[in-house]
Structure 1
Amino acid sequence: MEIERKYLIRHLPAHLRLDSFSCRIIEQGYLNTTPVIRIRKDNDKYELTYKSSGLMTREEYNLPLTEKAYLHLLPKIDGRLIRKKRYMIPLSDILTIELDLFEGDLAPLILAEVEFPDETSANTFCAPDWFGKDVTFSGEYHNSNLSKM
C-alpha cells in the first residue's frame, strides 16, 4: 500500500543545499496507464511496478527486472520516457521528502512527495512552508499522466 501526498514546488528555498542529500537518477516509462504498469531504472536498479487506481492511497507492487528485461520493454512504452533526479530529504524520524527535479521537456517541473505509514498521518500532515500547491487529489501530476502530456 502506498500512501503519499504530492506538492508542486515553484522554487527551492535558498537555504536548501541539494548536494548534501542523497540523489537517485530515475528514468521511467509506462506500458499502460489504466491500470498503471511502469518500468523504472533507479540508479542501477530495475523494476516493473503495478499501481491500482487512486489518488492519495493506492496498491503498489514492485517486481525486480534485469537490465536486459528493462531494455527489452523500453521501446514498448506509451508516451514519453520520464527522466528526473530524486533527492531524499529527511523531514522527521519517519518521513522523507522525495524531491523530483524533472529533466528534458518536463523541466523545470519540481514535485515533492511524502509517503506516510497511514492515512491519519497523511491527512494531518502540515507541509513545510516552501511547498507549493497540494496536488495530491489531482491526477494531473501523476507521472503516468505526465508521460502522456
Structure 2
Amino acid sequence: MENIEIERKFLVKEIPSNLDKYERIDMTQGYLNTNPVVRIRKENDDYVLTYKGSGLLSRSEYNLPLNEESFNHLLKKCDGIIISKSRYKIPLENGLVAELDVFKGNLHSLFLVEVEFKSVEDANAFIPPVWFGADVTTDSRYHNSYISKYGLLKWRY
C-alpha cells in the first residue's frame, strides 16, 4: 500500500506568541539523496529514514525506523547542509495541525509552516490563518531537500 503525503507549505508572516505552550520537536536532518529524496532525521529521541517520491502538493512517502548508531553513521554520508530546526505543532480548526519550523544555525532567518491533509480536495479548500504568509507549496526551492543542497541564497528575491 502506498503512503501519500498531502501538504501545503507557507512562509510565515508573523510568529504566533507563546510558542512554549505548543508541542515542540527538535530535529536534525540530512539528505543522502535529493532526487529521489532519501532523508534521515532525528526527532527528539527518535530516528527515521524517509523516502519521498516526486511531487509538490501530493507525493509518496515511506518512513522506516533507525537507531541512534545508524543515524550517526548515515549522517556522516549526507551531502550538503545538515538542517537543524524546532517544529511546533499548533492546532488549527477542523482537527488540522500547523507544523511551524523554526530553523537554526545558518538558516536561522527561515520560518516555514506546513499543514497535512487527508485529500487533495481538502488541501485546495484550506484557508490559511492570518499569521501564514505566501503559499510556497508549488515552489520546490522551499523543500528542505533543496535548501540542504543549495542553501537560502538561490530563493531570495
Cα distance, 1:11 vs structure 2? 3.1
Contact 1:37/1:51 (CA < 8 Å) preserved in 2?
yes
Equivalent residue runs for 1:24-63 within 5 Å: 24-63=25-64
Aligned-partner residue type, residue 74 of structure 2: L
CA distance in 1, matches of 2:93, 2:60: 24
Match of 2:75 in 1: 74
Q: Deviations over 1:91-124 (max 9, x none)?
A: 0242100000000011121000000011100001
**Structure 1 or 2: larger helix share?**
2
CA distance in 1, matches of 2:87, 2:23: 8
User: Pairwise CA RMSD of aligned residues?
Assistant: 0.9
Contact 1:10/1:110 (CA < 8 Å) preserved in 2?
no
Question: After TM superposition, what 4+ stretches of structure 1 lie above 3 angstroms from structure 2?
Answer: none
Q: Deviations over 1:62-90 (max 9, x none)?
A: 00001000011011001010000000001
Residue 104 of structure 1 pairs with residue 97 of structure 2:
no
Aligned residues: 147
CA distance in 2, matches of 1:143, 1:31: 13
- State the identity %: 55
Contact 1:26/1:86 (CA < 8 Å) preserved in 2?
yes
TM-score by length of 2: 0.91
Aligned-partner residue type, residue 8 of structure 1: L
Residue 136 of structure 1 pairs with residue 129 of structure 2:
no
Match of 1:147 in 2: 148
Gaps of 5+ in 2: 152-157
